[in-house]
């Protein structure tokens, strides 16, 4: 299929890109094109203007510091995945990126584009949500920061206004003694997941759980956050510090997710899967937290 006709813009500065977005009605930003181009070719989207931001300088940076990792709008998935400093500051990003599509797609697709695309089955929105990250938005009107909790509005719908561009995303670092894990189940490696989970477990100095939460993908219209304080208390009740038994977490998670049936899987299967994945991810995250302490 060929895409419907559109006006193509290739600004070389951010100001020009934002001016075009302000002037052009029904415009879309083109980043890696790994989601937008298929949508155009299948005629599922028909923007009047495409603003190709690939020539805009200064948007590819990946900056890691004590507070977290800031990923620029043109940083490709593969660049973020290979960034050793980002992996040290927030390992969950790389743990999730390994599951995004295939290497060829990761070489071109952008991490921020994945957030802006807001696919409920995508990995990075769940990661941003569970970490409590932010998206930095810019328009000709100014800049604003949008918390992950407010950013994902529905399937393929973000809080960005039509004249806004996401210029970066910020993934906060986790507190000390925190372990993370990302698990998903897909029909084939690289496919969008049937369900997946990003889990974080934080231990206190006595190796008791001080925080546990999970972000789920594929089980609702937006990433679903589940606080796991209750199953965490059960996991350590009557046990020596650092020896958690998360076997009750699966049932708790199944009560808190509300997936839908589609052509890929039934709601009941997704609910079951969410519990299995969460229990395994919590074990793995606990092991990672204990390794950090040692
Ligand atoms: P584009 O395709 O350029 O844009 C996607 C959407 O986001 C468009 O609406 C565009 O206007 C908007 N957008 C992009 N950047 C910005 C910005 N900076 N500001 C405002 N709006 C913006 N993704 C997964 O997460 N998991 C998978 O398992 C997965 N599997 C895939 C398998 C295949 C075969 C393919 C082709 C893609 C797959 N993807 C998957 C999608 C891939 O990760 C995309 O790269 C990503 O979703 C979008 O990034 P992009 O840079 O390519 O964005």
Mean pLDDT for the stretch of residues 98-125: 97
The domains of the chain are located at: 1-52+60-173, 178-293
Longest CA pairwise span in the chain (Å): 66
Which residue has its alpha carbon closest to ligand 1 atom 29? 101
31 in contact with ligand 1, CB cutoff 6 A: yes
CA dihedral sign, ordered 108, 111, 116, 118: positive
What confidence score (pLDDT) does residue 190 get?
Answer: 83
pLDDT in tens, 175-197: 999 999 999 999 988 889 999 99
3-state SS string for 65-90 = ECCEEEEECCCEHHHHHHCHHHHHHC
113 in contact with ligand 1, CB cutoff 6 A: yes
Give the DSSP H or E segment for 248. Answer: none
CA atoms within 13 A on the CB side of 197: 33
Q: Which CATH architecture has domain 178-293?
A: 2-Layer Sandwich (3.30)
Q: Find where tokens 């009941």 sit.
A: 268
The DSSP result for 97-142, as a single string, is HTTSS-HHHHHHSBHHHHHHHT-TT-HHHHHHHHHT-EEEEEETTE
125 in contact with ligand 1, CB cutoff 6 A: no
Nearest by Cα to 213 from 271, 129, 151, 134: 129
118 in contact with ligand 1, CB cutoff 6 A: no
Q: Minimum mean pLDDT among 210-219, 225-234, 241-250, 276-285: which range?
A: 241-250
Which residue has its alpha carbon closest to ligand 1 atom 37? 34
Tell me, yes or no, if the pTM score tops 0.85. yes
Class in CATH terms, 1-52+60-173:
alpha beta
Which residue has its alpha carbon closest to ligand 1 atom 36? 34
pLDDT in tens, 41-95: 999 999 999 999 999 999 999 999 999 999 999 999 999 999 999 999 999 999 9
Alpha-carbon dihedral angle through residues 220, 226, 170, 69, given to the nearest 10 degrees: -120
pLDDT in tens, 14-23: 999 999 999 9
Nearest by Cα to 212 from 123, 272, 286: 286
Q: Is 188 exposed, middle or buried (0-12, 13-18, 19+ CB in 10 A)?
A: exposed
pLDDT band at 240 (very low <50, low <70, confident <90, very high): confident
106 in contact with ligand 1, CB cutoff 6 A: no
The CA distance from 51 to 250, in Å, is 44
In order of 55, 88, 97, 169, the CA distances from 64 in angstroms are 24, 9, 17, 12
Which residue has its alpha carbon closest to ligand 1 atom 13? 113
């Amino acid at each position: 299929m060929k895409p419907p006709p559109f006006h193509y813009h290739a600004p070389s500065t951010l100001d020009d890109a934002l001016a075009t977005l302000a002037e052009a009605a029904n415009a879309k930003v083109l980043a890696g094109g790994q989601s937008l181009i298929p949508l155009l070719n299948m005629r599922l989207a028909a923007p009047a203007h495409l603003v190709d931001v690939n020539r805009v300088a200064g948007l590819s940076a990946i900056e890691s510091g004590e507070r977290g990792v800031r990923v620029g709008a043109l940083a490709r998935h593969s660049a973020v995945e290979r960034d050793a400093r980002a992996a040290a500051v927030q390992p969950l990003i790389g743990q999730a990126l390994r599951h995004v599509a295939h290497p060829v797609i990761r070489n071109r697709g952008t991490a921020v584009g994945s957030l802006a695309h807001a696919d409920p089955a995508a990995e990075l929105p769940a990661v941003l949500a569970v970490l409590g990250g932010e998206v930095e938005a810019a328009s000709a009107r100014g800049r604003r920061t949008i918390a992950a909790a407010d950013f994902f509005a529905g399937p393929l719908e973000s809080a960005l206004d039509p004249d806004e561009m996401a210029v970066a995303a910020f993934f906060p670092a986790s507190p000390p003694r925190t372990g993370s894990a990302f698990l998903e189940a897909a029909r084939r490696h690289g496919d969008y997941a049937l369900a997946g989970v990003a889990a974080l477990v934080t231990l206190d100095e006595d190796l008791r759980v001080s925080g546990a939460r999970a972000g789920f993908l594929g089980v609702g219209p937006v990433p679903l956050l589940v606080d796991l304080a209750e199953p965490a208390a059960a996991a350590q009740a009557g046990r020596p510090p650092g020896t958690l038994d998360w076997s009750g977490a699966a049932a708790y998670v199944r009560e808190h997710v509300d997936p839908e049936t589609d052509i890929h899987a039934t709601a009941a299967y997704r609910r079951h899967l969410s519990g299995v994945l969460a229990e395994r991810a919590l074990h793995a995250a606990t092991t990672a937290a204990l390794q950090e302490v040692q």
